[in-house]
A and B are shown apart, each in its own frame.
Chain A
Amino acid sequence: MRTKAKLVTAVQIKWLLISLGAILATHALNLPLWVIGVCVLLGVWRYIAIAKPIFMPNRWLLVLLSLILGLIIVLSFKGQFGRDASLSFLVIMTALKLLETKALRDYMLCIMLGFFLVGNLFLFNQSMATFGISIAPMLLLIASLINTSLVKQNNMNNLGITKQKSTKQDALFILKFSGKLLLQSLPIMLVLFVLFPRIPGPLWGIPQDAYSGMTGLSDNLQFGNISQLTKNSSIAFRVQFQGAIPPKNQLYWRGPVLWHQEEHSWLMASDNIGLPAEHLIVSGPATHYTITLEPHNRPWLLLLDMPTNLPNNTKRTHDYSAVANEPVRSRMRYEAVSYAHYQLEANALNERESIMALQITEGENPRTRALAQTWLNLTPAQKINSALTLFREQNFIYTLRPPLLGKDPVDQFIFNTKRGFCEHYATSFVYLMRAAGLPARIVTGYQGGELNPNGNYLIVRQSDAHAWAEVWLQGQGWVRVDPTAAVSPARIEQGIGDADLERDELPLMARHDFPLLKKALLNLDTFNNGWNQWVLGYDDKKQLAFLSKMRGKTVSVTDLVVGMIVTLLAAMVATAFFVLKKTHITLNPAEKIYAQYLKKLKTIGLQLNIGEGALDFGNRVALALPPQQTLILDIAARYNALQYSQAKNAFMLTELEALTKQFKPKF
């Protein structure tokens, strides 16, 4: 038999609308504007339909709407069904589900979809802020569930709520209750966080477009690339040094090395396959440090010049950049050792490399070539000096807003505009060197960084992106030359915030003019760093290491899984026991006998009301069953005597038992 479905009340729908509204707000940045608009419209529609159910759409209209909106999603995302499109689809379908929510079953489904949507927040961002934001919709969803269960069981009274109090007070009470539940779940969450077996690598693939928003160094250098990056104050990586932090002018974080020049751009070596690694000799003190690299969707890792060891799963290019096997798409933590004093490929330059390091495209930049031709007979050191003197003495200006360069960009830069950023100086310098016959290459990466005094670690931001040159000198190998230092020494000595720039050229975090705000932001970053290290960075390896340390002996994944299953089972058994025990009221012997008597009466449809005493009930039953009147009243009186009188004994109990056995539930 099909029973009529339980319908939802207006209050339930309002709770649901508020909860889903909150979820929509938290997803606001992850959804296209039109999706948000459509959802708001659908929500308003459902709200109107609370009072006027006639506005509820019928099934065919809903099917039509779903098809149309589905089609619009496919079209607007151009058929790419990745993370963003899926979220839009899910959100719209949830909003449509609202419009057919009449029964409690649909309502519960909407709530579960709501929880799922909250979880989806973390596909976009896993910061502490996201965690904080997700609390509000969670609170509301749980409150909706509480509201429903209260209505369902009609047990508002047991919780101290009566109809006399306003709905506002009810709502407040429910919200408080929800908050309490959330807080109570906190310890369980923490235990699960620490103990739940971690699976190495992501459990499921995250769609490709999830990484579209990441920024970082590119694999080529075009005029304007780095100055764009410099306007971005997001964090590139954080560094924790063991021991003293080297001086700022030695903090060259090595990234991709660029060899190949084409009109406006410099590219990585195209034919570096099989090139032997350059020969590195280090001396002097070593610097030990740990880098936490933010995901940037590129394979390279950044290391301090010159690294001697490499993190796991990475390889070294011949020119001493470190490259991971896959693009870095999640936060990565690695330890490294570097030496400030080194000699790279000091004895002889590899033949292929020497060709690569002298390559310049024919027929471009005639004036620069002509200038370099005049230096051909100088010593390498003189060539370098000539170029640096050129930058230093000819009114070159360091700026993040260089004029656009057209054809023959190096010529234009050196002889006309004379305004540029590190990339201009580095590329022009290398171009000059190559034209003058000195092997040279461009190194991109970051320079400097900012010390966070709270955590004693260095924050390197995208705004610290930099490009410099390396020239090869016989007997010294590849030597770093930073032409930017010739133009704006402060950029290298103190950091980009001290470079002689117009104030508003730089992002807030790179500037020095709001010390208090900056301090607050640094404090926040200390927090974020902790969050990254301890919460997001708590992976399978860390978990096992932590648990092994706790336990005093090695813990394996199997131990963890078995332990988890045992714990879960134990928790379930304990819960079941608790729940069953609570509903089971211990009866005294008289009550047990009376309960059997009541059971007999129930078979003929006579039931004890709440608040009805044995005597009243006895009178009622006696009226219904006149032939057994005396027996019934006797049972009631004896039961009362057993329960309430002072004079009770075991004999009375056996008598009561005998009487109830005598009773026949028959009209």
Chain B
Amino acid sequence: MQTSNNAINPNHVITTNAIIKGVSQVILGKQQQIKLALSCVLAGGHLLIEDLPGMGKTTLAHTLAQVLGLEFRRAQFTSDLLPADIIGVSVFDRNTADFQFHPGPVFTNMLLADEINRATPKTQSALLEAMEEKQITVDGETHQLPSPFFVIATQNPKHHIGTFALPESQLDRFLMRISLGYPDAESERALLKNQGGRNFSSHAPAICDAETVLAMQQAVHGIHVSDHLLDYLQALIAQSRAQLNTGLSPRASLALRQCAQAWAMLEGRDFVIPEDVQAVFASVVSHRLALEKDSGQSAQQMLSQIAIR
């Protein structure tokens, strides 16, 4: 490529490639999902991983945190988990005769909210509030969350017993929803041979740190989106509104742009092309079309109906 004033930082390209490689050594054969997860992180959004138990959701989240070199906490959501268990609690200190705030697991760079749909709506919304505001307020005191701050939430498919489905408005807080799916034969074989999987996640080397992640997030904003591409984006959004009863919101269109930018960066490009949009489209859009029956299929349909010019 002969782009003279390439705005992309070559270091970022090297770093992202290394991250993908690092995670791939643990989560075998799921490069596409890893890239999606990473682009979600780079776009500065929260990630929802939805799949059956035992598909490697937690492992992916854990490994990603490890490789990114971020502070990582994990909260297992259960039906008796209370908001205070997540955001922290003020405890009376007898020595100082004052209330002392004991921060909860949310005070970290990367929070893994495992099985988020097992908690009650009250706890869910406490977390989701923190996700939106990037700060929490306890007893009239506001506490800033560390930066960067991500939540990777995992959930079992809705119809599983003992789950509280996230309402659409809260699903909308997640930039992306991905699912891992079964591994292919080759990867499964390697897994059985003990060449990957959870045991390796703690050994995965940290490739970057919080500052690099912030810098890369900044760089994502600089990825160029041409008018031509915006036309395409708008056509897609318009198609969703024409085709479905509840189309995509403006927030969804912004999310789509950000994710496409992050994807372009992972591809080592300083501008977005329609293929970037297509790559992230289903993940960004399908959980926002929760009211539709076959949201994944309709997303695919939209892509195949809008011509690229």
A residues with a Cβ closer than 8 A to B are: 157-158, 160, 162, 164, 585, 591, 609-616, 637, 640-641, 643-647, 652, 655
The yes or no answer to B91 lying at the interface (CB within 8 A) is no
Q: Which of B6, B226, B271, B308 contacts A613 (CB 8 A)?
A: B308
Residues of B contacting A637 in the complex (Cβ-Cβ under 8 angstroms):
1
Q: Known A157-B242, A645-B224, A647-B4; judge A610-B274 contact (CB<8 A).
A: no
A646 near B271 with CB under 8 A, answer yes
Residues of A contacting B224 in the complex (Cβ-Cβ under 8 angstroms):
644-646
List B120-178 residues whose CB lies under 8 Å from chain A: none
Q: Known A160-B242, A615-B275, A616-B275; judge A645-B3 contact (CB<8 A).
A: yes
A644 near B2 with CB under 8 A, answer no
> What mask results when residues 225 to 248 of chain B are scored 1 for a CB within 8 Å of chain A, else 0?
010110000000001001111000
Q: Within the assembled complex, what's the spacing in Å between the Cα atoms of A158 and B238? A: 11
Q: Which of A158, A164, A585, A614 contacts B308 (CB 8 A)?
A: A614
Residues of A contacting B3 in the complex (Cβ-Cβ under 8 angstroms):
641, 645, 647
Q: Within the assembled complex, what's the spacing in Å between the Cα atoms of A615 and B269? A: 13
Residues of A contacting B239 in the complex (Cβ-Cβ under 8 angstroms):
157
* Sample of 8 A–B contacts (CB below 8 Å): A591-B309, A611-B303, A611-B307, A637-B1, A641-B271, A644-B274, A645-B269, A647-B6
The yes or no answer to B61 lying at the interface (CB within 8 A) is no
Q: Which of B242, B271, B304 contacts A610 (CB 8 A)?
A: B304
Q: Nearest-CB distance from B107 to chain A (Å)?
A: 39
The yes or no answer to B11 lying at the interface (CB within 8 A) is no
Q: Within the assembled complex, what's the spacing in Å between the Cα atoms of A164 and B293? A: 10
B2 near A609 with CB under 8 A, answer no
The residue in chain A whose Cβ has the minimal distance to the Cβ of B5 is A647
Known: A610-B304, A644-B226. 4 other contacts (CB 8 A): A164-B244, A611-B303, A613-B274, A613-B308
The yes or no answer to B272 lying at the interface (CB within 8 A) is yes
Q: Nearest-CB distance from A643 to chain B (Å)?
A: 5
Residues of B contacting A591 in the complex (Cβ-Cβ under 8 angstroms):
309
B residues with a Cβ closer than 8 A to A are: 1-7, 224, 226, 228-229, 239, 242-245, 269-275, 278, 303-309
The residue in chain A whose Cβ has the minimal distance to the Cβ of B236 is A611
Q: Which of A613, A644, A647 contacts B278 (CB 8 A)?
A: A613
B229 near A611 with CB under 8 A, answer no
Q: Nearest-CB distance from B218 to chain A (Å)?
A: 17
Residues of A contacting B308 in the complex (Cβ-Cβ under 8 angstroms):
611-614
Residues of B contacting A641 in the complex (Cβ-Cβ under 8 angstroms):
1, 3, 271
The residue in chain B whose Cβ has the minimal distance to the Cβ of A159 is B242
With a 10 A CB-CB cut-off, give which of B228, B245, B308, B309 has the most chain A CB atoms: B308
Residues of A contacting B269 in the complex (Cβ-Cβ under 8 angstroms):
645
Q: Which of B226, B245, B305 contacts A646 (CB 8 A)?
A: B226
Q: Within the assembled complex, what's the spacing in Å between the Cα atoms of A645 and B303? A: 22
B226 near A645 with CB under 8 A, answer yes
A644 near B305 with CB under 8 A, answer no
Residues of A contacting B226 in the complex (Cβ-Cβ under 8 angstroms):
643-646
A643 near B304 with CB under 8 A, answer no
The residue in chain B whose Cβ has the minimal distance to the Cβ of A645 is B271
Residues of B contacting A162 in the complex (Cβ-Cβ under 8 angstroms):
242-244
The residue in chain B whose Cβ has the minimal distance to the Cβ of A158 is B242
Q: Which of A158, A614, A646, A655 contacts B273 (CB 8 A)?
A: A614
Q: Within the assembled complex, what's the spacing in Å between the Cα atoms of A609 and B303? A: 11
Q: Within the assembled complex, what's the spacing in Å between the Cα atoms of A640 and B245? A: 34
Q: Within the assembled complex, what's the spacing in Å between the Cα atoms of A637 and B1? A: 7
Residues of A contacting B244 in the complex (Cβ-Cβ under 8 angstroms):
162, 164
A610 near B273 with CB under 8 A, answer no
B273 near A640 with CB under 8 A, answer yes
Q: Nearest-CB distance from B155 to chain A (Å)?
A: 27
Q: Nearest-CB distance from B266 to chain A (Å)?
A: 14
Q: Nearest-CB distance from B263 to chain A (Å)?
A: 12
Q: Nearest-CB distance from B217 to chain A (Å)?
A: 20
Residues of B contacting A645 in the complex (Cβ-Cβ under 8 angstroms):
3, 224, 226, 269-271
Q: Known A609-B304, A645-B3; judge A164-B273 contact (CB<8 A).
A: no
Q: Within the assembled complex, what's the spacing in Å between the Cα atoms of A158 and B245? A: 15
Q: Within the assembled complex, what's the spacing in Å between the Cα atoms of A538 and B293? A: 60
Q: Within the assembled complex, what's the spacing in Å between the Cα atoms of A570 and B6? A: 54
Q: Within the assembled complex, what's the spacing in Å between the Cα atoms of A373 and B79? A: 126
The residue in chain B whose Cβ has the minimal distance to the Cβ of A618 is B275
Q: Within the assembled complex, what's the spacing in Å between the Cα atoms of A162 and B244? A: 8
Residues of B contacting A652 in the complex (Cβ-Cβ under 8 angstroms):
2
Q: Within the assembled complex, what's the spacing in Å between the Cα atoms of A160 and B273? A: 28
Q: Which of A160, A609, A612, A643 contacts B228 (CB 8 A)?
A: A643
Q: Within the assembled complex, what's the spacing in Å between the Cα atoms of A643 and B273? A: 8
Residues of A contacting B271 in the complex (Cβ-Cβ under 8 angstroms):
640-641, 644-646
Residues of A contacting B1 in the complex (Cβ-Cβ under 8 angstroms):
637, 641
Q: Within the assembled complex, what's the spacing in Å between the Cα atoms of A558 and B296? A: 66
Q: Nearest-CB distance from A82 to chain B (Å)?
A: 54
What 4 pairs between A and B have smallest CB-CB spacing?
A: A645-B271, A613-B274, A646-B224, A613-B275
Q: Nearest-CB distance from B233 to chain A (Å)?
A: 12
Q: Within the assembled complex, what's the spacing in Å between the Cα atoms of A609 and B229? A: 18
B7 near A646 with CB under 8 A, answer yes
Q: Known A610-B304, A610-B305, A611-B304; judge A644-B273 contact (CB<8 A).
A: yes
Q: Nearest-CB distance from A616 to chain B (Å)?
A: 6
Residues of A contacting B272 in the complex (Cβ-Cβ under 8 angstroms):
644
Q: Within the assembled complex, what's the spacing in Å between the Cα atoms of A640 and B270? A: 12
Q: Nearest-CB distance from A593 to chain B (Å)?
A: 14
Q: Within the assembled complex, what's the spacing in Å between the Cα atoms of A645 and B6? A: 10
The residue in chain A whose Cβ has the minimal distance to the Cβ of B274 is A613
A164 near B305 with CB under 8 A, answer no
Q: Within the assembled complex, what's the spacing in Å between the Cα atoms of A107 and B303? A: 35
Q: Known A160-B242, A644-B228, A645-B270; judge A611-B305 contact (CB<8 A).
A: yes
Residues of B contacting A612 in the complex (Cβ-Cβ under 8 angstroms):
308
Q: Nearest-CB distance from A460 to chain B (Å)?
A: 61
The residue in chain A whose Cβ has the minimal distance to the Cβ of B6 is A647
Residues of B contacting A158 in the complex (Cβ-Cβ under 8 angstroms):
242
Q: Within the assembled complex, what's the spacing in Å between the Cα atoms of A598 and B40? A: 35
Q: Within the assembled complex, what's the spacing in Å between the Cα atoms of A402 and B309? A: 89
B275 near A157 with CB under 8 A, answer no
Q: Which of A611, A643, A644 contacts B306 (CB 8 A)?
A: A611
The residue in chain A whose Cβ has the minimal distance to the Cβ of B304 is A611
The residue in chain A whose Cβ has the minimal distance to the Cβ of B272 is A644
Q: Nearest-CB distance from A296 to chain B (Å)?
A: 60
Q: Nearest-CB distance from B96 to chain A (Å)?
A: 57
Residues of B contacting A611 in the complex (Cβ-Cβ under 8 angstroms):
278, 303-308
Q: Within the assembled complex, what's the spacing in Å between the Cα atoms of A157 and B307? A: 14
Q: Within the assembled complex, what's the spacing in Å between the Cα atoms of A67 and B33? A: 73
Q: Nearest-CB distance from A631 to chain B (Å)?
A: 15
Q: Within the assembled complex, what's the spacing in Å between the Cα atoms of A611 and B303? A: 6
Residues of B contacting A655 in the complex (Cβ-Cβ under 8 angstroms):
2
Q: Within the assembled complex, what's the spacing in Å between the Cα atoms of A647 and B306? A: 26
Residues of A contacting B273 in the complex (Cβ-Cβ under 8 angstroms):
613-615, 640, 643-644
Q: Within the assembled complex, what's the spacing in Å between the Cα atoms of A157 and B5? A: 42
Q: Within the assembled complex, what's the spacing in Å between the Cα atoms of A641 and B6? A: 11
Residues of A contacting B4 in the complex (Cβ-Cβ under 8 angstroms):
647
Q: Within the assembled complex, what's the spacing in Å between the Cα atoms of A614 and B229? A: 13
Q: Within the assembled complex, what's the spacing in Å between the Cα atoms of A512 and B224? A: 85
Residues of B contacting A615 in the complex (Cβ-Cβ under 8 angstroms):
273, 275
Residues of B contacting A585 in the complex (Cβ-Cβ under 8 angstroms):
309
Residues of B contacting A646 in the complex (Cβ-Cβ under 8 angstroms):
5, 7, 224, 226, 270-271
Q: Nearest-CB distance from A397 to chain B (Å)?
A: 77
A610 near B229 with CB under 8 A, answer no
Q: Within the assembled complex, what's the spacing in Å between the Cα atoms of A654 and B3? A: 15
Q: Nearest-CB distance from A583 to chain B (Å)?
A: 14
With a 10 A CB-CB cut-off, give which of A164, A611, A641 has the most chain B CB atoms: A611
